Structure 1
């Protein structure tokens, strides 16, 4: 049995919330394809969401993990799901012409006795493709397939005490990263070296809170580039008379505490001081 991040009672709580929402929506089977949702429901934590995979929630019993054959061991090593609820498709389906992994999922859903039921999928999930949806609909002609986007997300909004403890650990990492950023930043320092230091600090973590990989890379635009959001880094040097904002999230076991800070080398202009005062207020 893998060492789960949370207690089984915490996972039971999450599953009960999800099933209550499914009942309210009139859903018999929920197909969860968002990586965060799969992790939240089962503990599954594999960096393989670039291929089709899902967690199937039915009205009773343990959820099913479904994915690529080689990823099934990831489900065994990171989730609480029993062996008979880990189902998979052959690797020959991956990026193959003439077939799609969702063909297999449709077969599996019929085998589980839900081929004529009301099935919800996450139409807005990043890794749920148009081709996959087409294959699933065609493979389940007698089922009613609806959009269940947001159902799991809304159950995740209010955090449990166990989750808050993780988020506080992530926040300690974020604090340490930004403190280190202020310690080492100086004019003439190349941004890629600066980011390397920050990422090392984030992964090293704080005390017993080791750093996990974040959902987004450090963002580091300077000067006019700071007028655009979400620019990462390059090999430019920090300059006097220029502002840079730094966005980075400390992350502990998939839980994030994003933080943004702005640095300015020299004397900042009055309008920037006023903006800083307004932000603090």
Structure 2
């Protein structure tokens, strides 16, 4: 496969080889990939067209094939030219050529030789969804028909094929129709196969993650500088976005989280249309993004004044996150990192305080997630995942609603051959604005 401009050809070849090795272990003839993060990982395709059905077919040998809406042909041609592109039309039939340009309504002008120029009818009609006037759904989806045809063309009327059953981007309808159209196929769930490969970032990937961390720091510092009593939350968010783009970042997979005391418990909520008040907490969590690689981080800011418990709880919070960082070593299990984090809480009388994890793996992300779609792979209390060099985590120390005060710290870290390296560097000192 040719390089997409993001990584060298050898990088993509290595990734595909790694996936094929896992496919061989499971006896798969091919796997069908729907998650945009996994498609990006294997091809470098970076676009927004994944809101509609798209599927990457990875065979054990030969070229990869990508099924998308026909209107995506230009972006596929320019970004990933060395794969087989199969476009489907999910809308109106292309308009016929004009029979009489003087009377026909056409959307394309003609040059001196009478050839169409400019915007052609096909480009606007293909992909414009049409519905039965009675409101009935069509018999089968164009995406499923294209996928079935592509598989049959490659001789997979039967065989052992993997399907990302857990992908948020594989609809039940398409999966059902593809399975029904190929009843002799032995369908296997290949969810997690490529995610396992993505867990370890190559040096080239880590370069983008480090750049994303620099963007994260700029975003966080701008948010803190903008905060204060009487400041509208939208103005804090505006400062975040301005820093994000000026420092070379792009839109992240998940919107920056800016919450006050009134919405602190809205786990994945963000700014409200009101102003910060004296005595409130300001919760800030965000991720810079460079070439789809993310580096999340979080801080807690006190507006106007800090309560008497703030300094003590911050020390506990930082001691806990440092204990977790110290525990991160190649070969260590995820549950051991969580245990190190929680042991600090226990020493400070917070043994009964629990979180579902103290961090999770990050890297490639497309909206709506910076953790790579689906429930993140976490540093959980019961996880036996073994840490390896190149893994990148959003390491978190979350002490909210403890009954003894509030504090919150999080940073992006990478596992190295020697231990743990912190990538986001915004100061952790008690902050009052």
Scaled by the length of structure 2, the TM-score of the pair is 0.61
- Residue 216 of structure 2 aligns to a residue whose secondary structure is helix
> In the alignment, is the contact (CA less than 8 A) between 1:247 and 1:258 conserved in 2?
yes
| Residue of structure 2 aligned with 1:120, choices 162, 168, 174 | 162
Aligned positions, number: 275
Corresponding residue for residue 188 of structure 1 = 230
Offset, 1:158 = 0.6
Counterparts in 2 of 1:278 and 1:80: CA distance versus 1, 3 Å: farther
Partner of 1:67: helix, strand, or coil? strand
- SS of the aligned residue for 1:22 comes to helix
Shift in CA distance, 107/157, structure 1 to aligned 2, threshold 3 Å: same
- What SS does structure 1 have at the residue aligned with 2:45? coil
Partner of 2:405: none
What is the match of residue 73 of structure 1?
A: 74
Q: CA RMSD in A?
A: 1.6
Kindly provide the CA deviation profile for residues 144-182 of structure 1, in whole angstroms up to 9, marking residues without a partner as x: 111110000000001100000000000000011111122
Distance 2:152 2:235 in 1: 53
1:60 to 1:29, Cα distance in 2 relative to 1, 3 A: same
**CA pair 163-80 structure 1, distance change in 2 beyond 3 A:** farther
1:222 to 250, 254, 260: 260
Q: Residues 28-80 of structure 1, C-alpha deviation per residue, up to 9 Å, x if partnerless?
A: 11101000000000001110111100111001122111111001222112225
What's the counterpart of residue 41 of structure 2?
Answer: 40
In 1, the alpha carbon distance for the partners of 2:81 and 2:19 equals 17
What displacement does 1:261 show? 1.1
**DSSP 3-state at the match of 2:264:** helix
Which structure 2 segments of 5+ residues have no match? Answer: 92-126, 131-136, 320-433
Quick one: distance in 2 between partners of 1:277 and 1:97? 61
Q: Structure 2 vs 1, CA of residues 274 and 228 (structure 1 numbering), >3 Å: closer, same or farther?
A: farther
Q: Contact (CA 8 Å) 2:228, 2:304: kept in 1 or not?
A: no
Q: Which residue of 1 aligns with 2:171?
A: 129
Q: Where do 1:121-200 residues align within 5 Å?
A: 121-200=163-242
The farther-off stretch of 95-104 and 44-53 is: 95-104
Structure 1 position 237, deviation (Å): 0.5
Displacement of 1:241:
0.3
- Provide the residue aligned with 2:87 in structure 1: 88
SS at match of 1:257: strand
Answering whether residue 299 of structure 2 is matched by residue 253 of structure 1, we say: no
Say which one has the larger Rg. 2
SS at match of 2:282: strand
Partners in 1 of 2:242 and 2:278 — Cα distance? 26
TM-score after normalising by structure 1: 0.93
Distance 2:33 2:179 in 1: 16
Q: 1:166 to 1:80 in 2, by over 3 A?
A: farther
3-state SS, counterpart of residue 257 of structure 2: coil
Give the aligned partner of residue 339 of structure 2: none
Contact 1:2 1:76 in 2 (8 A): no
| Separation in 2, partners of 1:35, 1:239 | 40
Determine which structure has the larger helix proportion and give its number: 1
Spell out, residue by residue over 1:204-223, the C-alpha distance to the aligned partner (whole angstroms, 9 max, x if none). Answer: 22xxxx21110101111211
